[in-house]
Structure 1
Amino acid sequence: MGLFDSVLSAVAQNGGSGGLQDIMGMVQGNPQLMQLASQLLANDGSLGGLQGLVSKFQEAGLGDVVASWIGSGANQPVSADQLTQVLGGDALSGFAQQLGLNSGDVAGQLSTMLPGLVDKLTPGGTLPNGGLGNAGDLLGSLGALLKG
């Protein structure tokens, strides 16, 4: 069982935890949103995994925000505008086109989703060695949880 499986299993057993329960609701309403998140977080994703996302936040001057998601304290929020700054408008436009939404909606949904998701994927307050696996593993784990 991989790290992502363990996290999702623990969340399912505990009935969700704060923002993650909301995330699961979002994903059920738009399953493509989790596909997008996996593109951002998976080792074979567009950013080079979770470490790549952390680097993008650091480059945008928002390293403290993403560090709060990984650490054991409270998660700092990220706005849709900040996320657009981190990921770039062109990347968000591409993601929006994939989802059939506008860039602002995608940035808004991701800004709500990513803090809790990254928090749950980094138990113990550290980036996992070897990353989170490939996109297929992440999507497969989530699909199993949502069906269960």
Structure 2
Amino acid sequence: MGLLDAALGMLGNAQQGSGGASNNLVQLALGLLNQSQQGGGLQNLMGTFQQAGLGEIIASWVSTGQNLPISAEQIQQALGGGQLSDIANASGLSKADAAGGLAEILPGLIDKLTPNGQVSDANNIDPAAMLQQFSSLFGNR
């Protein structure tokens, strides 16, 4: 189990009890960024967004500057029906609601994962530090 997997597990335990589809969606968004999952990882997600013509948007989330907004429709465009359906089913949300939730979650999540404006190797991420960053992200909600 990699460090990001451990962080995901710790996040799940920390979020237990406050429950709901929103927390599931956060965990699923983290899953998109988990390099140990097939097709996962921030670099793969960036490639997916670039292929959908949204490279400038996701690059803004990685950079140290202002995060550009993204719409639910753009999330649907980038992820496609299959991956978005999987996320919607796993979170208990409709595809539209899942896309809207990801549009809210992903910019801040990716921004927190890349504080220096660089894509890091997931194996070099300290789970405790990552969870501390995420808790501040969730606290602002």
Same fold (TM over 0.5): yes
Candidates 75, 78, 83, aligned match of 2:75: 83
**TM-score using structure 2 length:** 0.72
Alpha-carbon shift at residue 82 of structure 1 (Å): 0.4
Structure 2 CA distance for aligned equivalents of residues 104 and 52 of structure 1: 23
Candidates 102, 115, 131, aligned match of 2:122: 131
Gaps of 5+ in 2: 5-14, 137-141
1:65 equivalent in alignment to 2:64: no
Structure 1's consecutive aligned runs of 4 or more residues displaced over 6 angstroms after TM superposition are none
**Structure 1 counterpart of 2:89:** 97
Candidates 41, 45, 64, aligned match of 2:33: 41
Structure 1 CA distance for aligned equivalents of residues 64 and 50 of structure 2: 19
Alpha-carbon shift at residue 131 of structure 1 (Å): 2.7
Aligned pair count reads 119
1:44 corresponds to which letter in structure 2?
A: S
- Given that residues 39 and 46 in structure 1 are in contact (C-alpha distance below 8 angstroms), is that contact kept between their aligned partners in structure 2? no
Residues 110, 133 of structure 1: alpha-carbon distance in 2 compared, 3 angstrom cutoff: farther
1:74 equivalent in alignment to 2:66: yes
1:55 equivalent in alignment to 2:47: yes
**TM-score using structure 1 length:** 0.68
Structure 2 CA distance for aligned equivalents of residues 100 and 133 of structure 1: 32
Deviations 1:1-54 (A, max 9, x none): x79xxxxxxxxxxxxxxxxxxxx9xx8653211220121001123432011110
**Structure 2 counterpart of 1:111:** 103
Residues 69, 127 of structure 1: alpha-carbon distance in 2 compared, 3 angstrom cutoff: same
Structure 2 CA distance for aligned equivalents of residues 101 and 69 of structure 1: 25
- Given that residues 25 and 87 in structure 2 are in contact (C-alpha distance below 8 angstroms), is that contact kept between their aligned partners in structure 1? no
Kindly, what percent of the aligned residue pairs are identical? 43
- Given that residues 41 and 47 in structure 1 are in contact (C-alpha distance below 8 angstroms), is that contact kept between their aligned partners in structure 2? no
Q: Calculate the aligned-residue CA RMSD, in Å.
A: 3.2
> Helix, strand or coil: the match of 2:103?
helix
2:122 corresponds to which letter in structure 1?
A: G
- Given that residues 80 and 111 in structure 1 are in contact (C-alpha distance below 8 angstroms), is that contact kept between their aligned partners in structure 2? yes
Structure 1 CA distance for aligned equivalents of residues 124 and 103 of structure 2: 22
Structure 1 CA distance for aligned equivalents of residues 48 and 123 of structure 2: 17
- Given that residues 42 and 132 in structure 1 are in contact (C-alpha distance below 8 angstroms), is that contact kept between their aligned partners in structure 2? no
